[in-house]
Amino acid sequence: MVGFLDLHSHMLPSVDDGAKDIEEMKKMMELAYNDGIRAICFTPHFKLYEFEDEEQIERYNAHINRIFNDACNYASAEYEDMSLFLGSEIMCHSDVAESISENFCKNIANTSYVLIEFHFKASFYDIKNTVTKLSRKGFIPIIAHAERYSELVKKPARVTELKELGALIQINARSVTNIRFGRVARFIKKVFKKMLVDIIATDAHDSSHRTPILSEAFEKISAKYGEGYAKKLFVENPNSILNKCSKE
């Protein structure tokens, strides 16, 4: 299938632990394109504790903007029907809503959606509290790779609670295809069965291991839960988020 949208990607080179250089980004983009992906939102990590001061954050953001422009130029020359967007994957910290409001970290493509990650052992209280705070400030939190948090895996019903507070749930494509046994596999099965998942994304970091591939997971979800639901997760839901973007 052609026309997938990938809302979680570390393809932007030399900014985090994703693509190490422009050549790696090119390889990744080719893989993504050949897999049927036609829109990618780059979401480099933002971890407040890695910065010493605001000036360093500003330099980091200026650097990201420059590289993003280069990536857009490359994509438009090579792939005329590929769209690129910019966001960030924000590691939760106590002033996360303020950091977003002050533009230290980027929401998804200038929309009110924010991709937020937690420590894998984060307490449910912290996750819930962050979702509540962000929702109150008018943001729509997308919980990155929800299958990674032990406090959710332990009690999948908590996912419903987070959704009621305004969160969207993102699961990694590789988890869908590669995790077959154990607690996480059972968690994934439960949340899909109850149709609690909103978005599947690649969380791609390279061209050999954590790759930008969605088609395999799409086939699996289609076969198990129906093509209609699969299309929502891989195309319609991410598309409706990106359609809300006001381009700079």
- Which residue ranges make up the site for Fe ion (CB under 5 A)? 89, 203
**Close Cβ partners of 120 (under 8 Å, ≥ 6 residues apart):** 148, 149, 150
Distance CA 198, CA 208 (A): 27
* Phi, psi values for residue 166, rounded to 5°: 110, 5
For Fe ion, the closer CB: 171 or 231: 171
Q: How far is the CB of 39 from Fe ion (least distance, A)?
A: 17
- Measured CA to CA in angstroms, residue 43 lies from 77, 136, 228 at distances of 22, 23, 27
Smallest distance, Fe ion to C-beta of residue 143, A: 12
Q: Which is nearer to Fe ion, 14 or 222 (CB)?
A: 14
Which tokens is 157 given? 């019903």
Beta-sheet strand order (sheet of 4-9):
4-9, 37-42, 83-86
CA distance 24 to 113: 28
CA-CA-CA-CA torsion sign (138, 143, 149, 151): positive
What amino acid occupies position 9?
S
- Taking the complex as a whole, the smallest distance from the CB of residue 136 to Fe ion amounts, in Å, to 25
Pick between residue 134 and residue 204 the one whose CB is nearest to Fe ion.
204
Residue whose CB is less far from Fe ion, 90 or 233: 90
Token duo for residue 42: 């780059």
| CB of residue 60 to Fe ion, shortest distance in Å | 17
Cβ atoms within 10 Å of 165's Cβ, excluding its own:
17
Q: What count of other Cβ atoms lies within 10 Å of the Cβ of residue 69? A: 12
Q: Which residue lies nearest Fe ion, judged by its C-beta?
A: 203
Q: Shortest approach of Fe ion to residue 117 CB, angstroms?
A: 7
Find the shortest distance in angstroms from Cβ 58 to Fe ion: 23
Handedness of CA 246, 22, 172, 49 (dihedral sign): negative
Our CB check for Fe ion shows the closer of 213 and 231 to be 213
Nearest Cα to 187, choosing from 145, 224, 230?
A: 145
Which residue's CB is nearer to Fe ion, number 24 or number 89? 89
Choice between 147 and 203, CB closer to Fe ion? 203
Q: How far is the CB of 28 from Fe ion (least distance, A)?
A: 14
